[in-house]
Amino acid sequence: SFAYNFQVGSKRKRAFEPDEISKGAAKARQILEAFVALPLDTMDKTQALQEVKKLKDNLEKDAQNCHWLQKFL
């Protein structure tokens, strides 16, 4: 199977499968789309922070199962 290689830390390479990359990218895209859809201009600051924290927590949870996504956190 085809894998992408990325340099990690001390000259070691980590391979990511294309399927893992596409799943991770889809998860990240969903989070970004959800963020863009938030009506931040009409929310009070506390509510906005709560909603953004939920998105962040969901992204971190998704990243636990996706090494490719972890590299962005």
pTM over 0.85: no
**pLDDT per position in the chain (73 positions), as tens?**
445 555 545 445 567 888 889 999 999 999 999 999 999 999 999 999 999 999 999 999 989 989 888 888 8
Q: Where are the beta strands (DSSP E) in 20-66?
A: none
Q: What is the pLDDT of residue 39?
A: 96
Q: What is the pLDDT of residue 1?
A: 44
Tokens (6 digits) for 25: 């990218």
